[in-house]
Structure 1
Amino acid sequence: MNRRELLKAALAIPFLPGGMTGAIGSAWAAGSRLSSRVRPGQAGWPSLAQWDELNHAVGGRLLKLESPFSASKAACDEALKHLKNPFFIGDQPALTQTSGWADAWLSRCSTYAVAADSVADVAAVVHFAARHRLRLVIKGGGHSYQGTSNAPDSLLIWTRHMKAITLHDAFVGQGCEGWQAPQAAVSVQSGAIWIDVYDAVTRQNGRYVQGGGCTTVGVAGLIQSGGFGSFSKAFGTAASGLIEAEVVTADGEVRIANACTNPELFWGIKGGGGGSLGVVTRLTLRTHGLPEFAGAVFGEIKAVSDAAYRTLIAKAISFYQSELFNPHWGEQLRFRGDNVLQVSMLFQGLNQQQAQAIWQPFVDWVRANNDYSFVKPVQVLALPAQHMWDAEYFRQHVPGAMIPDDRDGAPRNHVLWSDDQGQVGWFIHGFKSAWLPASLLHADRQAQLVDAIFACTRQWDVEFHFNKGLAGAPPEAIAAALDTAIHPQVVDAFALAIIAGNGAPAYPGMPGANPDLPNARKASAAIGRAMEALLKVAPNAAAYVSESDYFQRDWQQAFWGANYPRLAAVKRKYDPDGLFFVHHGVGSEGWSADGFTRRP
C-alpha cells in the first residue's frame, strides 16, 4: 500500500465498528449478529454529516445516484442515443448492461456510490457499510444477468476507474517464494474490461490470457463466476488461471489470496460467484504462449422438413464428435426452431487451410443433399492470433465484425463483437443453462441426444456453447478446473446448453419502455418446456452460475454441487455477519430475497 493509500486508510478508521482493525475472529466478529439492513429514511440511515465524512475519506468520490432517464432531458437524450453502446452504459454508475428480468428484477440504481480508484477507497466503503448496516453492492462491468450488480436503497462500490494493467515476466505469489515457479502473468485491477486486457496482453505483447468472449465484461466478475472464453477448451477456465488476488473482506482488511496465503479464500474466489466473499480489487492471471493463428467458421443451413432437420442435427452432432471435439474448437452451434442450423464456431492453433479441410466434408454433404440449402454460406476465416482483438486490423480486413464505442474521444481499441450487441440493455424473458455430459456423444447415445435436441427446438431455439464444457480439454486444464469452486460437472461436459429469450431494453423511466409481460411469461414457459425436453437425456445436469435461471431451484446444488459446503465454510470465516449479499450467492439463503432481512 503506497503513502497515499495509507493516508486514505487512516481516514477510514472512524468507520470501523468499534475501531477494530485486526483479523477475523476479533471484536468485529464477536459483535451482535446482523439481523437487518437499513433503508433511506429509516432509523440508523447515515446522516448527511456522516455521508460527508465518507466522501472526505474517499477523496470526494461519493456520488448521489439518479438514473439518466429520470434526470435532465439532456441526460435522458444522451442515454437514449447510446442505448446499445455497452461502453457508455458501463460508464454510468446508475445503469447495468441488463435492464431487467420479467417478474424478477429491474435495473434500479443505488442511492449512493463511491467511484473507487484504490483499494483504500474500497476498504473505507466496506467499513462504512458495516458500521451503518447498509446494503452493499459491487459493480465493475455490470453485466450480471441476475441483477447482482445493482440494488435500490444501497451503497455501491463502483470499481470502473480501477483498471490498471501490469504485465510480469516472472510472477511469484506473495508467500509462495521458494516453492512456486515464476510465471508469465498479468495483474489487472477489478474495474478493467476484457478488451483492454486483450489489447495489452495479446495485441501489444503477443501472449494469451484466458478471459471472456464478450469484450465489455468485467474482469473480476468473470473470474469469480468461473469464466469461459472462446478458447477455454484449450486453456481452461479463467478462474483456473488465477495466481493471486487482492481482496477487501468484510472486516475491512485488505488481504492477499493465493495458494499460500489465505488459500481457502483464494479457492472460493475461483468460481464461487461474485460479490459473496469480499471485494476483489486486483487479480493476477497466468498468461500463455499465443497460437500462430485463430479464426472463425460461420454459416446457416436450412432443412426443407422436420425429418430432414432431424437428420441434419444428427449429422452435426456426429461431425462435432469426430472432428471438432478437441482443444482447437470453441463457441457455438445453434439449433433453431425454424429448422435452421446456425454455425458460429471459433478455432485456434489451425490455419485457414487446415480449418477448411476439416469442414469441407460436412459442407459437401450438405451440398449433395436437396433437402438442404445455405441461408448463409459456410465461410472459414483465419487471421494471425495476435490480431484476434485488434480493432484496427478488423476495421481494415473484416469491417462490421466489431462495433466501436461511437462516442467522441473513445479509445480506438474499444470495440465489441457485433453478435454481442443484442445483449446490450436487453430485458430477459427467460434464461436456462445445463452442462451436457460427454457420454451423450458416444455412438450408442447420439440418437437420444438428437431426439432431445429436436424436441427442444419445437419449443425454443437452443445453443450449444462447446467452449463452456471442458471435456476434450488437455489434462492440465481439467486438473486446474477441479481446483476451483465451480461445479465439478464442467470437466465432464462437452458443452453448455443455453436456452434464452429477451425483449428490447426496458430501463425504469426510459421513454417508450413498456415490456410486454404477458408475452415474456409465455416465452419463459416455452423456454422451460424446451429445457425439460433437453434434460430428458441429462436429468441431473448442473447450471452455470453466471448464465442461469433467476428462479433456479436448488441453486446451491445446481451451481456448485459438492463444493457448496466448503464455500459456505469460507463465507462463515471471512464474512460471518453476512455483509456481502447477492441473489443466489453463497450464504444468501439466510436472507430475504432483497437482502435486507435475515431469515430466522
Structure 2
Amino acid sequence: MKRRLFLSAALACLSGVLPRWSSAASQPLSRVRPGAPGWPSRVDWEGLRALVKDRLIAVASPITPCIGSTDRSRTAAVFARLRNPYYLGDEAGLTQALGWVDAWTSRPSVYAVAAETAADVATAVNFARAHRLRLVVKGGGHSYHGASSAADSLLIWTRRLNAITVHDAFVAQDCSTPQTAVSIGAGALWGQAYDTVARGAGRYVQGGGCLTVGVAGLVQGGGFGPFSKTYGLAAASLIEVQIVTADGEIRIANACTNADLFWAIKGGGGGSFGVVTRLTLRTHDFPAFFGGVFATIKASSAEAFRRLIDRTVSFYAEALFNPQWGEQINFRPGHELGIAMVFQGLEQMQAEELWRPFFDWVKASPQHYAFAQEPAILAAPARDFWSPAFLKSLPGLVMEDDRAGAPEGNLFWASNREEAGQVFHGYQSRWLSASLLAGDRQSPLAEALFRASRHWNISLHFNKGLAGAPSEAIAAARDTAMNPQVLDAFALAISGAARPPAYPGVPGYEPDVATARREAEAVKKAMQELRELAPEAGSYVSESDFFEEHWQKAFWGNNYDRLLQVKNRYDPDGLFVVHHGVGSEVWSADGFTRSD
C-alpha cells in the first residue's frame, strides 16, 4: 500500500495532477503523533516531498541545542539573533513570540511544506487530512496565542507566497465592478505591501502598524493599522481571497462566490477556515500628509496625574475624536503619560495648532508636570511615509535586518526589537464605547484609567475602535465577522506584560515564572478597573487574553453562531484548530483530541 501511495504521488507530480487523498471522516477524530500507529512512514513522507518538489523540510528550532547546554557563548549568540523579527520569520521552527508563561511555548513542527503555490498548500492539506496529522499554518508568525506553533505537527509555511501585484481595475470572480486593488501573497509582510503599493500605484492599502506582521493573519483577525480611523478595517477592504479548504480544494471567495466563507474570513480569525494563499484588497487615495505626535509627561503626584488624565480624556473628545487621528496614549505607574499619536490629512502647522492648548496647559503648571520627552510633531508627504529611504532618514525610528545579505528594505520599528522573541506574562484588551466620552461620563472614565494605572500600564489604542470613522468605513466593517462592538468603540484598551526572549530548560534564559505570575495578576487588576466601567465590553481576537473565559462572545459577539455554521460547512472534521478559534471548543487544548 505504501509503495502504491509513493508511486501514485510521483506520477501525479510528473503529470501535474493533484491526487485526492481518502477522507479521514471514517477515522477516529484524533491526531497521530510521531511513533504512534498511523504516523506516516518514510515512504509516505517521500511521496509528499515528490509532490511539493522538494519543498518539504525537516523542522528544527535553533533554540533546541541550547536546552541544557553549558556553551554560554553559543546560547548568547542564538538569543541575540532572536531580537531580529526577520530572523524569526525566516526560521520555520520559530515564531515571533516564544510563548506565554503558564499558557504555551513555541515548539517546532516535525515537517514543514515551504509552499510556493496554492497547489503546494492543497497537497499538504490533503496529506494532513489523510494521515490525521495536527496541522498548523505560519505566515508572519505573530500570533499571541501560538496559533502557528504546535509540536508533533505538519506546518504549512507560507513565507514564500509573497508576490504583490497592483491593479488599476480589478474585477472579482463572478462579480462585475472594477476596483483599484492589490493582490498580495499570504506570506508577504505589511512593510513590503505598503511600499510596493505606494511606489507601484501611488495609493494606500489598509493594513497593520507593524512592518513585519504578515498580511494574511492580520486581515483574518480583522486588521487594524495606524489609520484605521480613516480607512476602516483591513478585512473590510478585502475584495477577494484564494483559500485552500479542508477538502483540499483551492477556492475563490468573494461577495459573489462562496460568500459565506468570504464573510467568515473577514475577521473570523486565522487558522480556522482554511489556508489563505492570496488576498486582494481595495486600495485608497493618499491624503497629502501623514504625521505623528510624540511626548512623555511626568506628573509630580498621584493627584496631579489624575488631573492630567482627566484633561487628556476631555482633549481627546474635543479635538481628536475624528477620522484624522489614531494610535495611542499610555497611562503608566509612576505618574507618567506617554503620547504616540498619528494623523492624516493635516499639515504640520495645523497639527501643532491643534495640540497647542493641551501642551500649554501642561506647561502652565511646572510644579506639577514636566516633559520627560519634549513634544515632537512631524508631518511628511503620505506617499513617502512607508518608503525605506524616508524611514531610515528619521533618526532612531527604524532598525535594519542585520543579517549578512539581508534585503535593503528589511526594516522594523526600533520599538519592535524589545518585542521580538518576547515571552508574554499577561495580556488583555477591551473595547470602550464612545458613550464613555459623553460629558458626564468622562470623569468616571478618567478615574478608571487612573485606578488601572496604579496596577500596571494601560493604553488606549484609538485606531482600534471605529467610532468617529467615516460612515463608509463603518458600513464596510458591519459586513465583517468582527464583534459588532468595534463599530461603537472609540478605542481598544490594552494592558500587557512581557519580557525578553526566554525558553524553558535553557540555562540563563529560563522564564521567570514567579515574576510572570505577579505581572499577569497586575494586568488582570488593571483591566478589571475598566471591566467595572464597561462590564459587557468585548475583546479583539488578535490581541487578547489567552485565558479569556467567554471567548466566543468576547471576540465575535452575536456573530459566533453564524461563524460556527461556516466552520462546520467547510471543515466539518476540524482539520484546522487553533486556540480559541471558531469550533475549537470541541477539541483538547493541544488540538489532538476531539471531545464531542
- TM > 0.5 fold call: yes
- How many angstroms does 1:75 deviate by? 8.4
**2:376 paired with 1:371:** no
**2:513 paired with 1:553:** no
User: Match for 1:61 among 55, 59, 66?
Assistant: 55
Provide structure 1 residue ranges, at least 5 long, that are not aligned to the other structure: 1-5, 18-27
Which string of whole-angstrom CA distances, capped at 9 and with x for unpartnered residues, describes residues 351-378 of structure 1? 1001101001101110011311111111
Residues 455, 534 of structure 1: 8 Å contact kept = no
- How many angstroms does 1:567 deviate by? 0.2
Residue matched to 1:283 = 279
Q: Partners in 1 of 2:469 and 2:95 — Cα distance?
A: 34
Residue matched to 1:383 = 380
SS in 2 for 1:291: coil
Q: Partners in 1 of 2:280 and 2:545 — Cα distance?
A: 30
SS in 1 for 2:406: coil
- How many angstroms does 1:399 deviate by? 1.9
Which string of whole-angstrom CA distances, capped at 9 and with x for unpartnered residues, describes residues 391-449 of structure 1? 211323x1210111111221211111112222111100000000000000000100110
User: Match for 2:227 among 212, 227, 231?
Assistant: 231
User: Match for 2:323 among 327, 331, 334?
Assistant: 327
- Gap change, CA 1:511 and 1:392, over 3 Å in 2: farther
Q: Which amino acid aligns with 2:407?
A: P
Q: Partners in 2 of 1:263 and 1:9 — Cα distance?
A: 35
Residue matched to 1:490 = 486
Residue matched to 2:31 = 37
Residues 34, 578 of structure 1: 8 Å contact kept = no
Residue matched to 1:198 = 194
Residue matched to 2:517 = 521
- How many angstroms does 1:512 deviate by? 2.6
SS in 2 for 1:576: coil
Residues 208, 287 of structure 1: 8 Å contact kept = yes
Provide structure 2 residue ranges, at least 5 long, that are not aligned to the other structure: 1-10
Residue matched to 1:108 = 107
Q: Partners in 2 of 1:438 and 1:345 — Cα distance?
A: 18
Residues 299, 378 of structure 1: 8 Å contact kept = yes
SS in 1 for 2:439: coil
| Mapping 1:453-492, distance limit 5 Å | 453-492=449-488
User: Match for 2:314 among 313, 318, 322?
Assistant: 318
Residues 140, 191 of structure 1: 8 Å contact kept = yes
| Mapping 1:92-107, distance limit 5 Å | 92-107=91-106
Residue matched to 1:540 = 536
User: Match for 1:429 among 407, 411, 425?
Assistant: 425
**2:168 paired with 1:169:** yes
Residue matched to 1:22 = none
User: Match for 1:587 among 572, 583, 589?
Assistant: 583
SS in 1 for 2:572: coil
Residues 107, 508 of structure 1: 8 Å contact kept = no
| Mapping 1:148-159, distance limit 5 Å | 148-159=147-158
Q: Which amino acid aligns with 1:288?
A: H
Residue matched to 1:50 = 44
SS in 2 for 1:157: strand
Which string of whole-angstrom CA distances, capped at 9 and with x for unpartnered residues, describes residues 152-184 of structure 1? 00000000011000000001100113xxx2110
* Superposition TM-score, scaled by structure 2 size: 0.95
Residue matched to 2:249 = 253
- Gap change, CA 1:510 and 1:55, over 3 Å in 2: farther
- How many angstroms does 1:510 deviate by? 4.7
Q: Partners in 2 of 1:9 and 1:186 — Cα distance?
A: 33
SS in 1 for 2:54: coil
Which string of whole-angstrom CA distances, capped at 9 and with x for unpartnered residues, describes residues 108-151 of structure 1? 11011111100000000000000000000000000000000100
Residue matched to 1:393 = 390
- How many angstroms does 1:9 deviate by? 9.9
Residue matched to 1:21 = none
- Gap change, CA 1:384 and 1:39, over 3 Å in 2: same
Q: Which amino acid aligns with 2:594?
A: R
* Superposition TM-score, scaled by structure 1 size: 0.94
Q: Partners in 1 of 2:356 and 2:241 — Cα distance?
A: 45
Residues 400, 418 of structure 1: 8 Å contact kept = yes
Q: Partners in 2 of 1:9 and 1:308 — Cα distance?
A: 74
